[in-house]
Structure 1
Amino acid sequence: MLFILNLLLALQGFAQENDSATQWQEDLRFFQNTIHRDYPLLFVKTSPEAFDREVEALYAEIPNLQEHEIIVGISRLVASFKYGHTHLSFWQKPVEFAQFPYNLYAFEDGIYIEGTHKDYPEAIGAKVLAVAGTPIAEALQAIEPTVPAENAQYFKAYGINNLRYPEILHAQQLTQSLQHTVTLKLEKNGRVFNQTFTALPKGKSIPTERGFVTPDANWLSARDQETTPLYLQQLDKVYVEEFLADEQAMYVRHSRIQDEPGESTKDFYTRVLEEVVAKDAEKLIIDLRLNGGGNNYLNKDVIKELLQTEHIDQIGKLFVIIGKRTFSACQNLVNELDNYTNVIFVGEPTAENLNFWGDNRPLTLPNSGVSIAVSYLWWQDKPALENAEWMAPNLPVAMTFEDYRTNQDPVLEAALAFDEPNFKPRPMDYVKELYFSGQTQKLAEELPRMIQDPLYAFCDFENELLKQGNLLLQSGRGPQIQAAIQVFSTVLNLFPDSANAYKHLGESYIAIGNEKEAKQVLHKAIALDPDGVGVAAQELLAEI
């Protein structure tokens, strides 16, 4: 009798598990069908075919997976679109993953434990070398598919802390089972050691503000708390300003695109810019490095106030600090600043593509109740041909862990110290201006000089020139194609190992019927890059 009872209980458990697997499969199919029906617009960085292949693989595997593995599997599908506004939160009910008590931060010199619980004082400020026995670079690579990263900056800012979820560590095979402890290999003050962390109870999270731990009786910060740099002061406020009398500069930290209670964005910038003029400030520095977005309809007020203040809207006077947390509506603001003002960007690239799918709405899976945020609105501040993975700074400056720990701010210091009156923040605009105005001799002198000048290291001259050549080539008209040949030949004079330039030159020669020259340059493209550009060059040769 006992045997029969145990058998019935086992069969009942099997049936429940089987029902659960079926429900997850139904949810997955619902998600797949909804994306195809309502959101085909998201198939930009992945294809419908690749998406469906991953769906079918997960569908077949669901009966063999634990619930958290299924959820992480769905998150990989969501992340495959690579738009940060399309995401699956691991901090929602019924999905509520546990967290290990450490906050990771990507500095120029590596990944560090920026904050942790008071139970782990030795770990604070340590560099992470390995997670659960896996070197940190490989561990980051393992979790990357779970992050809807628009670019590498988004992953550094918003993605690396997926390493603190036990469920993700297991689902991405960094641990062999779902466990509530993990051991990190750390380095601090020249000593390498292991530290084992225990996960917080579900529902408990790490107190952070703009990516940094807020220290209190239970939580430790790696930063020396004796003083606070300007960019971290009053983080509870949307915007703050301070006039730096010694440098004759006005500093503004703007950390959210929204109105501050008691003073609108428009009123704030009106007041600040009036003070800039009254004090005859030499520079205005707007710090957007911690700004993750908000209501981009407020951006117009910022731009209008700046454009009306000719005193500061000049090259060398208006600086904007950007970084890996600059995202969403703040990316729109950055784009508009670039479009309409004489801004010089300082810091690191932004976390968002220039043009992007944003503004999401919830898609709730019918059985599990899991909610997925799905983007539906296209934001385009730049012409399609000028879209890029991020806004790059004109003055690239990154922060080391020691800079952070000791409250140094090399990014602000670079903006304050910059004094190059002939600097061209948009070097390609300058190049095109020389070309179209017929100043060929000056262009022949300026272009090689700028390519060698460290001040213009932020500009990828090779690819920017190739873009201009391709615009001419795609016109399909004789004079423009001849001009394209001239551009590609110029690129090869400056960058003799450019396989892309040889390939595009081959396309140009094909377009004017010069097969002999086309074959010669296409063979050079193949020799320089046989497995990359050379593949396309081979296809062009086959068509001749």
Structure 2
Amino acid sequence: MKKAYWLTAAFFIISLLIILLKQSSPFGWIFSLALNLFFACVVAFLLFGGLHLWYKNKVLSRIFSSLILAFALLIGAIQLLINIDYRLVLPLTSTDMSQEDWQEDINFLQSKIVGHPAVKADVILPRKINYKNLEGLSDDDKLLEIIRQVSVFKDGHSYVPPFQLYNQSQYLPLKGYYFDDGYYVLAAASEYQELVGKQILKIGGVSIEHIFNQVIEITGPENEYNAKYRFDFYLYNLNLLKSLKVVDGDKVPIIYRDNEKENVVTVKGGSFINWLFWVLKPNELILPPTIGLQKPNYNLFFEDKNLVLRLNLIENISDDNSIEMLADQLRSQLKSEPESLIIDLRNNSGGNNQLYEPIIRAILESTYINDSSRLFIFTSYTTFSAGINFLDELKQRTTATLIGQPTGAGPNHYGDAQLMTLPNSGIFFFLSTRQWTGIGKNDSLKTMKPDILVRYNFEDYLEGTDPWTTAMKSFSDEEKRNP
């Protein structure tokens, strides 16, 4: 027993080390083996502990022993079922659906869609579907039909994520960014490192541009910039690529440019759970503004002689570190009359519309900083939702100069999306519940264009340069020369 215990401890440490080492690229058989070995060791430790208590031959010990042993067997059974088909252990989705199940899902979807504010205002009449629209389709194609149904609103808050338990979504282990000079891979699983830093030209013989246009057509984004921000979610979804007839198998040929030559590498998909963990884990990267979660929500700091307010998410960090306290800090720092104030919204994908007013008031109180040559706002494709509302208020109430990329939505948009789930398939989707109206109520633009447009190319990323800051400095220097 003692030898088995120490052998298990050794395997536990080895598996944990592999998981920690591979967390930056959680793909492939080594990571999967380490993960399974880790849970097997946890089960073994519980079994050892349970048996040890059992042999004490006391009533209370045997009660605890029985509970521990039952828990160990439960974890082992769950792990086994997850490896076979994780839908077997998750009640959210069914592995076998009847026509009646699908019709119930469709009826549920349509009952929710008519509650969208665009339908209530008679702006959009949604297309009605029934089971005949889905009959004979594969699981992936059924999901595509549901995606199309919700996309009719062309509302960035109302959409069906392509990663679903329902069809065991598979993802290519890559992530990238749509720069102004093309789409480039920024990270890849260890076996596909040759793709990092390369421009992707085609997937399965279909150009990136064509796939991008297909994604716009089926998902109904707010605008093309919002589509670029979310492109990775769709581009690397193997199930969706099959439904769009981009590829027809599990091995995907990717054509990329390398020193002006076209090369091909074949990539295999893996679980979407691994991919999401990899892509969405919080990070502190500023550029490029991508789909990862940036932390912290906000910070205020000096960069050279410029005061920078970086606002990634309009949500209080804690009771002791609220946005109202942030506004007080801003008010205090502005008294020192910094060379400029930069409000960085490049990674701001939303938050709470009720929280940002103290920041605006702090800026308006400083007549020194409320000047087009001193007050700057950085925007990107990622700027969205409550970030747009905040930006619109700043644009209308201050003299700020906007620098960057067009935003992922316009000042008048639908929002406050609710998460909903179809009762049988478990397909989840988001649907807007209200319309947000900006200060310019008749503004029909689906984006907010900057005063100074920035081009962000792959070379900028490679060299670590920041075109937003460069554009700001050029503008400030010009203003000083020509006051």
TM-score (norm 1): 0.65
CA distance in 2, matches of 1:324, 1:304: 26
Instruction: State the one-letter code of the partner of 2:314.
Output: I
Instruction: Identify which of 305, 329, 334 aligns with 2:386.
Output: 329
Asked if the contact 1:45–1:82 (Cα under 8 Å) also holds between the matched residues in 2, the reply is no
The equivalent residue for 1:272 is 330
For 1:35, the aligned partner's letter is I
Partner residue of 1:30 out of 104, 108, 123? 108
Shift of 1:44: 7.8
Seen in structure 2, the aligned counterparts of structure 1 residues 242 and 230 have a Cα distance that, compared at 3 Å, is farther
Q: d(CA) in 2 for partners of 1:85 and 1:171? A: 23
- Point out where structure 2 has 5 or more consecutive residues left out of the alignment: 1-93
The correspondence of residues 79-228 of structure 1 with structure 2, limited to 5 A, is 79-94=151-166, 96-176=168-248, 179-207=249-277
> Are the equivalent residues in 1 in contact too, given 2:95–2:166 (CA < 8 A)?
no
- 1:422: how far off? 10
Contact 2:116 2:434 in 1 (8 A): no
Between the aligned partners of 2:125 and 2:105, the Cα distance in structure 1 is 18
Q: What is the number of residues matched between the two proteins? A: 385
**1:171, distance to aligned residue in structure 2 (A):** 1.2
Cα shift at 1:271 = 1.4
Per-residue deviation at 1:193?
A: 0.4
**Where does structure 1 lack aligned partners over 5 or more consecutive residues?**
1-15, 216-222, 424-544
Query: Is 2:437 the partner of 1:380?
Result: yes
Following the alignment from structure 2 to structure 1, what is the Cα–Cα distance between the partners of residues 464 and 449?
25
Q: CA deviation at 1:106?
A: 0.6
Q: Could you say if the C-alpha distance between residues 229 and 148 of structure 1 is closer, same or farther in structure 2, counting changes exceeding 3 Å?
A: closer
- 1:416 counterpart = 2:469: no
> Relative to structure 2, which stretch is displaced further, 413-422 or 96-105?
413-422
Q: Any conservation in 1 of the 2:177–2:288 contact (CA below 8 Å)?
A: no
Compare 146-155 and 124-133 and name the one that shifted more.
146-155
CA distance in 2 between partners of 1:291 and 1:109 (Å): 23
Asked if structure 2 preserves the Cα contact closer than 8 Å seen for 1:103 and 1:213, the reply is: no
CA distance in 2, matches of 1:406, 1:350: 24
Q: SS state of the match for residue 230, structure 2? A: helix
The residue type paired with residue 306 of structure 1 is: I
Look up the equivalent residue of 2:299 and give its one-letter code.
V
SS at match of 1:240: strand
1:457 is aligned to: none
User: Is residue 21–residue 62 contact of structure 1 (8 Å, CA) maintained in 2?
Assistant: no
Q: Normalization by structure 2: what TM-score?
A: 0.73
Structure number with the bigger relative contact order (C-alpha 8 A, sep ≥ 6) is 2
2:176 partner amino acid: L
1:263–1:69 distance in 2 versus 1, CA, 3 Å: same
Secondary structure, in 3 states, of the residue corresponding to 1:193? strand
Q: Partner amino acid for 2:132?
A: A
Deviation of the 1:296 alpha carbon: 1.4
What secondary structure does 1:167 align onto? helix
**CA displacement 1:323-380 (0-9 Å, x = unmatched):** 1000111011001101111111000011012111101223332322322221111111
Q: 1:201 to 1:365 in 2, by over 3 A?
A: closer
Contact map agreement 1:131 1:184 (CA 8 A) in 2: yes
RMSD of aligned Cα (Å): 3.1
Instruction: Confirm or deny that 1:62 pairs with 2:143.
Output: no
Say whether residues 1:242 and 2:291 are aligned partners: no
Cross-structure match for 1:347: 404
Measure the CA separation in 2 of the matches of 1:45 and 1:120.
Answer: 49
CA contact 2:102–2:424 (8 Å) conserved in 1: yes
Distance in 2 between the 1:207 and 1:355 partners?
Answer: 33
- Alignment of 1:291 with 2:338, yes or no, is no
Q: Give the drift of 1:203.
A: 2.5
- Deviation readout 1:133-180 (Å, 9 max, x if unpaired): 11111122223233241011000101343011111011112123xx32
Shift of 1:94: 3.8
Any idea what SS the aligned residue of 1:256 has? coil
**Distance across 2 between alignment mates of 1:403 and 1:159:** 20
- Paired residues of 2:404 and 2:453 also in contact (CA < 8 A): yes
- Please give the alpha-carbon distance, in whole angstroms, between the structure 1 residues aligned to 2:300 and 2:273: 36
Q: How far 1:22 moved relative to its partner?
A: 4.2
- What whole-Å deviation, never above 9, does each CA across 1:482-531 have from its counterpart, x for those lacking one? xxxxxxxxxxxxxxxxxxxxxxxxxxxxxxxxxxxxxxxxxxxxxxxxxx
Q: Do 1:240 and 1:254's aligned partners in 2 also have CA atoms closer than 8 Å?
A: yes
Match of 2:125 in 1: 48
- More displaced stretch, 129-138 vs 200-209: 200-209
Amino acid of the structure 2 residue aligned with 1:41? A
Amino acid at match of 2:275: S
For 2:170 and 2:219, locate their aligned partners in 1 and report how far apart those are by CA, in whole Å.
17
Superposed CA offset, 1:32-68 (max 9, x none) = 24423x336347897426x23xx36xx4342211112
Within 5 Å, give how 1:439-450 maps onto structure 2.
none
Distance 1:154 1:230 in 2: 14
Report the AA paired with residue 365 of structure 2: Q
CA 42–96 in structure 1, closer or farther in 2 if over 3 Å, else same: farther
Matched, 1:252 2:330: no
